[in-house]
Structure 1
Amino acid sequence: MSTIINWFEIPVADLERATAFYEAVFAAEFKRESMSGMEMAVFPYEDPHPGGALLKGEAFKPSAQGTVVYLHAPDLTAMLTRVSKAGGECVFGPQVLPDNIGTIALIVDTEGNRVGLHQPA
């Protein structure tokens, strides 16, 4: 096992709005999928690396509480600028971590989810 993380899902109320936000922040295009009454916009990833998606479904509700996933930020400063331009908010950081781990920030997306961004050192 090379990593504990296999897949993650960020719940959204408005898939179009959330997809536009994350595509702007990551400067990337997301793949759209649907299955079992759920709609998804999949983050770009390459196997065998973990992947994830924005997920709209009846049982999935955005929240500012609960688990926080930290997403890779190759240029945290540029990404935080795009967060605010895309309608999100930085609520913590940037914070340099000890022991040369990198820099993190915590944002709130357009759906009200807390999401972390991590730029490795």
Structure 2
Amino acid sequence: MNTLINWFELPVQQLDRAVDFYQHVLGGEFRHETIGQIEMAVFPHTKPATGGALVKGPMFKSATGGAIVYLSTANLDVALKRVRDKGGECVFGPEVLPHNIGTIALMIDSEGNQVGLHQPA
């Protein structure tokens, strides 16, 4: 096992709106898939990096409590401006972490999920 986390999913209510939000904040193109009743937009990534997707389906509910996924960004200030441009909200940070880890912030996305952003040092 190279990494403990190998996939993540962020629940959405409106897939097109969520894709527009994340493409604006982070850049990149999403790959669309449907598996059973689940509509997905897969975050751009290359293996062996951890992958993930925006998911819409009857069992998925957006949330601000629970586990937090941190998405990498090269420029946290620019990403947070883009979050606000698309109606999202910064709820914590930016906060510089000790030990040269980088800078983080927490946002509420277009779907009501609390998601972290991390700019490596």
TM-score (norm 2): 0.97
Q: Partners in 2 of 1:88 and 1:33 — Cα distance?
A: 25
Paired position in structure 2 for 1:37:
37
CA distance in 2, matches of 1:94, 1:100: 15
Stretches (4+) displaced over 4 A: none
1:87 and 1:24 map into 2 onto residues whose CA distance is 11
Number of aligned pairs? 121
- Aligned alpha-carbon RMSD (Å): 0.7
State the match for 1:90 in structure 2.
90
1:53 Cα offset (Å)? 0.2
Partner of 2:19: 19
**Shift of the alpha carbon at 1:33?**
0.6
What stretches of structure 2 of length at least 5 have no aligned partner?
Answer: none
Rounded to whole Å, the distance in 1 between the matches of 2:48 and 2:26 is: 20
Q: Distance in 2 between matches of 1:75 and 1:2?
A: 27
Instruction: Give structure 1 stretches of 5+ with no counterpart.
Output: none
How far apart in 2 are the matches of 1:36 and 1:55? 12
3-state SS, counterpart of residue 25 of structure 2: helix
Tell me which amino acid in the other structure corresponds to 2:81. T
Counterpart AA for 1:43: F
Q: Distance in 2 between matches of 1:50 and 1:83?
A: 22
Give the counterpart letter for 1:54 in structure 2: L
For the residue of structure 2 that corresponds to 1:21, the secondary structure is: helix
TM norm structure 1: 0.97
- For 1:63 and 1:18, the matched residues in 2 are separated by 14
- Partner of 2:93: helix, strand, or coil? strand
**Post-superposition shift, 1:15?**
0.6
Q: Which amino acid aligns with 2:104?
A: I
The answer as to 2:28 corresponding to 1:28 is yes
- SS state at 2:22 partner: helix
